[in-house]
Amino acid sequence: MAFWRSKKNQDDEVPQSKSTASNDAGNEIRPVDVQTTASQSGATSTEGSSKSSGPQSKSGSGGLFSKMRGALSKTRQALNTDIRDLFKAEGRLVDDKFLKELFSRLIRTDMGVASAEAIRDDVAQRLRARVVSLEEVLETITEQTQSMLIQESTGLQYAESGPTVILVVGVNGSGKTTSIGKLAHHLHQSGQKVVLGAGDTFRAAAVEQLTVWAGRIGCEIVTGKPEADPASVAYQTVDRALSIDADVAIIDTAGRLQTQTNLMQQLEKIRRVVEKKIDTAPHEVLLVLDATAGQNAISQARGFSDAAGCTGIVLAKLDGSAKGGVILPIREQFQLPVKFVGLGESIDDIAAFDAAAFAKALFAP
Amino acid sequence: MFESLSDGLQSAFKSLSGKGKLTESNMREGLDIVQTAMLEADVSYQVVQDFMAHVSERALGKRVLLSLRPHEELVSIVHSELISILGPVDPSLHLKKEGPTIIMLCGLQGSGKTTTCGKLAQLLKEENIKPLLVAADLQRPAAIDQLHVIGKQLGVPVYSDKENKNPVKVCQAGVEKAKAEDARVVILDTAGRLAIDKELMAELQRIDKRVGPDQVYLVVDGMTGQDAVNSAGAFNEALELDGVVMTKLDGDARGGALLSVKHVTGVPIKFIGTGEHFDALEPFRPEGMAGRILQMGDMVAAAREAHRIVDEKEREELEAKMASGDFTLDDFKSMMEKVAKPGLMGKMMGLMPGMGQFKDVLESDEAAGGIRQTIGAINSMTMAERKNPKEIDAQRRTRIAKGAGVQTPVVSQLIKQFEVMKPLMQGMAGKGAGDRMKMMQQLQSSGAMNDPNMQGMKMKKGSGKRLSPSERAKQKREREKLVRKMKRNRK
Ligand SMILES: Nc1nc2c(ncn2[C@@H]2O[C@H](COP(=O)(O)OP(=O)(O)OP(=O)(O)O)[C@@H](O)[C@H]2O)c(=O)[nH]1
Ligand SMILES: Nc1nc2c(ncn2[C@@H]2O[C@H](COP(=O)(O)OP(=O)(O)OP(=O)(O)O)[C@@H](O)[C@H]2O)c(=O)[nH]1
Ligand SMILES: [Mg+2]
Ligand SMILES: [Mg+2]
């Protein structure tokens, strides 16, 4: 399972129980080609858009983390979150004006008022009335953020024996189905036998969408009839996984808002049904959050955790100009680790979450 | 954090007794609270700054209306300012008389474009206008199928060409087909894209240039955060938008991004999406949105209503009585009578000095019943007794209880409670909210509030301990239960 780990950690890698992948294959999450976006700008958009699907990625080369970093750095210009412009060459006096400017930069990451205040106050406490160097403050903030995000494990939790069942939940359009496609692909590539379950029987062509992904990956998919009970599709998916001796079953669900109590109860039912088949399942319940989301993501984390017992987060669409800072308060309040980040719409555009890289990207130039 | 903006403002203006002018210094704390509320609603930082500057300019030197308290005055300024920024409304699709009107929907991935195509088609169908949907998303897996399913559900034709990989050509062909079939409206469903994706933005510009849509709408997810200024700005720059649709407002998102979008694009907000079904598209109403962003619900209206019931003069008299210690059980009764009407209690309490925190509990029917008993007990007292409850001995207590049809301890408790309350109320009138809070806590721990009648009135005592998520959830559930009950009672 090397591929979920950072390049720099590969040396001290802990063996994973379930890995069937060679390290080489694992590292294949590394993109195949290099940065195509800019070079194609002249071309008319027939095939050649950077969005073209297929097993190509538009992220830069390098290991997992540099991939995440590379993707995040694309937006730095556009976003103007460079804390460094707060400082003149000789350093600046840390006063109210300084702190206000700092606050505004923090808020722009979507971390929310409380987190931004905490960080600002910490800076004030440590550095008020001092003339500081850029590095000093950057270090402070990055460190603090990183420590907020430190998590024991970002890897998937696997079943001790038999298929690992992963349930994927989230609000409408957050990126569930796409994230499943990408995740399944990487598991498949690392040699695991994957079954997908098309548990979104509600949205128009949701089943077809996941079927396309299954086709790209070359894995099995279990589908029900349109309007079928999603719990029965989930049941059949686990059933299928057991009978073909699959390593992983990933179940898609229809998007729903955390305020829709009936639909949230449906998630509870799906859980129960899955549990009936394998009593330790689901082994992971991944909440897919849209990185462009603001403070409502907190309510999402609360609502979905209550109903579905989330075990981790996939932060999708982190390739845009949004920073996804809302995971800071979420991490604090719900102890939910971010496991993966989505970095695009292509099959390889997924990476393991790395707190250090994320913290750096939030504030880096 | 405050439960709502108005609670926060109320405490921010604790030092102001009721009238006067809004000044820079007395508004500062209130403005900070408004700012926090807006940031928490996901309004972009810069937009909040501009807005605050605007509001304080408007509010400065403004005399607080006799009928309003300073925080209400500020809320009403903020509210009306928001409404004016979010407006004016323009739900028209501006259909042309001749030839098909082309509407293009664009936006970030997953914002709700395809669904909104269906909703607009439904809207047109209801007016007997024939639309044609064009599947111009050639990127997302099964996007074309998705639009076809929607077309089928609605009985609306869909143009697509799975062989063609060029969305410009697909759109052009779609428009031709609309002309041939005499469709009055063509709706282009474009692929979701990132505003920083230069190439895909250029593709959108090519569609814009070659197909020439009459109306270009940006579809924005209601849950969007700070990035809204960047993305909406980029789409507007590339395309010159004609309108905005904000989706997914059926949940609990505050939707502050809409203010950011409006700020950077300046184009009218056309519709809001309030569900996944095709009829869940509503014409935009700035009033509703302003209340939602500020999370003050119908606070402004409630304040007005409450003002109708107790006029300012009466309230001042009451406060004066409390301050001088002349407050009798009779005054207490008339105060209770005013608020005993279900539903009114909370609103009223919001207006009483320091009583805002009782709002929820007072709206329960236990509390209402308790208040009825209290009023009954006071009613069976003589005027002298009401003035000087100290003279009520055991014998009188029994008589009063009998007259009111309550147990004797109810009367004892009432008297004890009043004796403890009176000096506290005296202190409370004119004091700040912080002091009031302390006094209320004192009052509670004195046992005066342990009266069975007043059980509903137990106040949330801050223990300084942070609640765990599950404890908080429990608290929230209890509150919600109370609110539901209250609503039932009102019916
Ligand atoms: N740029 C970018 N786009 C993404 C990413 N993940 C998903 N998307 C796009 O976001 C849109 C919605 O993704 P879906 O996977 O359909 O989202 P969903 O949560 O399954 O949606 P519903 O099932 O309708 O609730 C699609 O256009 C995806 O291609 C990502 O990491 N980056
Ligand atoms: N609750 C709710 N869901 C909505 C609303 N509008 C759209 N959705 C849902 O949001 C999800 C995404 O909607 P789509 O219409 O597929 O979004 P899109 O912008 O076309 O997505 P891409 O084409 O992938 O960029 C779907 O699950 C829709 O059912 C709304 O107003 N309320
Ligand atoms: Mg989906
Ligand atoms: Mg679409």
Q: Looking at this predicted complex, what is its ipTM? A: 0.79
What is the rounded CA–CA span in Å between residue A324 and residue A291? 4
A78-92, A97-111, B274-288, range with the lowest pLDDT: A78-92
SS3 of residue B136 by DSSP: strand
State the distance from the centre of ligand 4 to the C-alpha of A127, rounded, in angstroms: 49
Classify residue B229: in a domain, yes or no. Answer: yes
User: B230 and B281 in one domain?
Assistant: yes
Chain B closest-CA separation from residue A79 CA (Å): 7
More confident residue, B36 or A153: B36
Chain B closest-CA separation from residue A152 CA (Å): 21
What integer pLDDT is reported at residue B57 of this predicted model? 87
What integer pLDDT is reported at residue B10 of this predicted model? 58
Q: Ligand 2: does its nearest atom lie under 6 Å from the Cβ of B255?
A: no
Q: Ligand 1: does its nearest atom lie under 6 Å from the Cβ of A347?
A: no
Confidence of residue B164 (pLDDT cuts 50, 70, 90): very high
Q: How do residues B187-200 score in pLDDT, each as one tens digit?
A: 999 999 999 999 99
A226-240, B234-248, B256-270, B422-436, range with the lowest pLDDT: B422-436
User: B430 and B362 in one domain?
Assistant: yes
What integer pLDDT is reported at residue B481 of this predicted model? 58
Classify residue B92: in a domain, yes or no. Answer: no
- For a mutational test of ligand 2's pocket, the pick from B231, B276, B279, i.e. the residue with the most ligand atoms closer than 8 A to its C-beta, is B276
* Chain position carrying tokens 């669409």: A317
Q: Ligand 2: does its nearest atom lie under 6 Å from the Cβ of A292?
A: no
What integer pLDDT is reported at residue B340 of this predicted model? 56
Q: Structure tokens of A315?
A: 């932060």
Q: How do residues B295-311 score in pLDDT, each as one tens digit?
A: 765 444 544 454 455 55
* pLDDT value at A12 more than 50: no
3-state secondary structure B330-346: HHHHHHHHHHCCCCHHH
What integer pLDDT is reported at residue A328 of this predicted model? 92
What integer is the mean pLDDT of A24-28? 35
Q: Which helix (H) or strand (E) holds B478?
A: helix B469-490
What integer pLDDT is reported at residue B460 of this predicted model? 32
Confidence of residue A72 (pLDDT cuts 50, 70, 90): very low
Query: Over pLDDT 90: what percentage of chain A?
Result: 55
Q: How do residues A168-206 score in pLDDT, each as one tens digit?
A: 999 999 999 999 999 999 999 999 999 999 999 999 999
B17 alpha-carbon distance from chain centroid? 26
User: B217 and B70 in one domain?
Assistant: no
SS3 of residue B166 by DSSP: coil
What integer pLDDT is reported at residue B137 of this predicted model? 97
CATH code for position B79: 1.20.120.140
User: B482 and B351 in one domain?
Assistant: yes
What integer pLDDT is reported at residue A153 of this predicted model? 65
User: B154 and B10 in one domain?
Assistant: no
Classify residue B96: in a domain, yes or no. Answer: no
CATH code for position B250: 3.40.50.300
State the distance from the centre of ligand 3 to the C-alpha of A169, rounded, in angstroms: 9
Q: How many CB atoms lie within 10 A of CB A129?
A: 8
- Burial grade of A120 (CB within 10 A; 0-12, 13-18, 19 or more): buried
What is the rounded CA–CA span in Å between residue B369 and residue B275? 40
What integer pLDDT is reported at residue A26 of this predicted model? 34
For chain B, the residue count is 491
* pLDDT value at A288 more than 90: yes
What integer pLDDT is reported at residue B47 of this predicted model? 94
Q: Show Cβ contacts of residue B445 under 8 Å, excluding neighbours closer than 6 positions.
A: none
Q: Are B343 and B486 in contact (CB under 8 A)?
A: yes
What integer pLDDT is reported at residue B75 of this predicted model? 77
More confident residue, A161 or B438: A161
Classify residue B141: in a domain, yes or no. Answer: yes
- ∠ CA B46-B50-B51 to the nearest 5 degrees? 115
Domain that holds residue B69: 3-86
- For a mutational test of ligand 1's pocket, the pick from B105, B108, B109, B144, i.e. the residue with the most ligand atoms closer than 8 A to its C-beta, is B109
Residue in A73, A261, A290, A292 to test binding to B, most B beta-carbons within 10 Å: A292
What is the rounded CA–CA span in Å between residue B489 and residue B491? 5
Would you call B198 an interface residue with chain A, using a CB distance cutoff of 8 Å?
A: yes
User: B208 and B327 in one domain?
Assistant: no
What integer is the mean pLDDT of B364-382? 78
Encode burial over B116-125: b for 16+ CB neighbours within 10 A, e otherwise.
Answer: bbbbbbbbbe
Taking a 5 Å cut-off on Cβ, the residues next to ion ligand 4 are B 113-114, 137
More confident residue, A217 or B451: A217
Classify residue B91: in a domain, yes or no. Answer: no
Classify residue B453: in a domain, yes or no. Answer: yes
Q: Show Cβ contacts of residue A166 under 8 Å, excluding neighbours closer than 6 positions.
A: A156, A183, A248, A249, A250, A251, A282, A283, A284, A285, A286
Q: Are B286 and B255 in contact (CB under 8 A)?
A: no
Residues of A in contact with B37 (CB under 8 A): none
What integer pLDDT is reported at residue A305 of this predicted model? 96
Q: Are B56 and B34 in contact (CB under 8 A)?
A: no
What integer pLDDT is reported at residue B451 of this predicted model? 38
Chain A closest-CA separation from residue B477 CA (Å): 12
What is the rounded CA–CA span in Å between residue B281 and residue B248? 10
Confidence of residue B288 (pLDDT cuts 50, 70, 90): confident
Taking a 5 Å cut-off on Cβ, the residues next to ion ligand 3 are A 176-177
What integer pLDDT is reported at residue B406 of this predicted model? 87
Q: Structure tokens of B300?
A: 């402004």
User: B130 and B79 in one domain?
Assistant: no
* pLDDT value at B222 more than 80: yes
Q: Which helix (H) or strand (E) holds A270?
A: helix A261-277
Residues of A in contact with B474 (CB under 8 A): none
What integer pLDDT is reported at residue A31 of this predicted model? 31
How many structural domains compose chain B? 3
DSSP E strand stretches across B204-274: 215-221, 243-247, 269-273
Nearest C-alpha in B relative to A105: B45
Chain B closest-CA separation from residue A309 CA (Å): 13
Which residue in A79, A113, A322 is closest to B39 by CB distance? A113
Q: Which helix (H) or strand (E) holds B438?
A: helix B433-445
What integer is the mean pLDDT of A44-72? 38
User: B166 and B64 in one domain?
Assistant: no
Q: How do residues A295-333 score in pLDDT, each as one tens digit?
A: 999 999 999 999 999 999 999 999 999 999 999 999 989
Q: Show Cβ contacts of residue A301 under 8 Å, excluding neighbours closer than 6 positions.
A: A287, A289, A310, A313, A330, A333, A334, A336
User: B311 and B289 in one domain?
Assistant: no
Encode burial over B81-104: b for 16+ CB neighbours within 10 A, e otherwise.
Answer: bbbebbbeeeeebeeeeeebbbbb
Classify residue B95: in a domain, yes or no. Answer: no
User: B361 and B291 in one domain?
Assistant: no
What integer is the mean pLDDT of B117-136? 95
What integer pLDDT is reported at residue B27 of this predicted model? 76
What integer pLDDT is reported at residue B166 of this predicted model? 96
What is the rounded CA–CA span in Å between residue A189 and residue B347? 62
Confidence of residue A15 (pLDDT cuts 50, 70, 90): very low
Pairing of strands A92-93, A131-132: antiparallel
Confidence of residue A131 (pLDDT cuts 50, 70, 90): confident
More confident residue, A264 or B454: A264
What integer is the mean pLDDT of B439-456? 42
Residue at a domain's end among B86, B115, B145:
B86
What integer is the mean pLDDT of B429-437? 45
CA-to-CA separations, A153 to A133, A179, A182, in angstroms, rounded? 34, 20, 20
Which DSSP category does A39 fall into? G
Q: How high is the mean pLDDT of chain A?
A: 79
Pairing of strands A131-132, A220-222: unpaired
Q: Structure tokens of A285?
A: 């319940």
Single-letter amino acid code for the residue at B25: S
CATH code for position B364: 1.10.260.30
Q: Are A298 and A272 in contact (CB under 8 A)?
A: no
CA-to-CA separations, A27 to A67, A69, A217, A322, in angstroms, rounded? 12, 17, 17, 27
Q: Show Cβ contacts of residue B5 under 8 Å, excluding neighbours closer than 6 positions.
A: B33, B34, B37, B75, B294, B295, B296, B299
Residue at a domain's end among B86, B119, B141:
B86
The neighbouring-strand residues paired with B87 are none
What integer pLDDT is reported at residue A109 of this predicted model? 94
Q: How many CB atoms lie within 10 A of CB B279?
A: 11
For chain A, positions 283-312, list CB contacts with chain B under 8 A.
290, 292-297, 299-300, 302, 306
User: B129 and B36 in one domain?
Assistant: no
Residue at a domain's end among B86, B115, B149:
B86
Alpha helices per DSSP H over chain A: 23-26, 64-73, 76-79, 96-107, 113-127, 134-149, 176-189, 206-217, 230-243, 261-277, 296-308, 327-334, 355-363
User: B476 and B363 in one domain?
Assistant: yes
Would you call B363 an interface residue with chain A, using a CB distance cutoff of 8 Å?
A: no
Would you call B254 an interface residue with chain A, using a CB distance cutoff of 8 Å?
A: yes
Would you call A345 an interface residue with chain B, using a CB distance cutoff of 8 Å?
A: yes
The neighbouring-strand residues paired with B24 are none
Q: Give one DSSP letter per residue of A169-221, joined into a string.
A: E-STTSSHHHHHHHHHHHHHHTT--EEEE----SSTTHHHHHHHHHHHHT-EE
What is the rounded CA–CA span in Å between residue B484 and residue B83? 29
- pTM reported for the whole predicted model: 0.73
* Chain position carrying tokens 């690392």: A190
Q: How high is the mean pLDDT of chain B?
A: 78
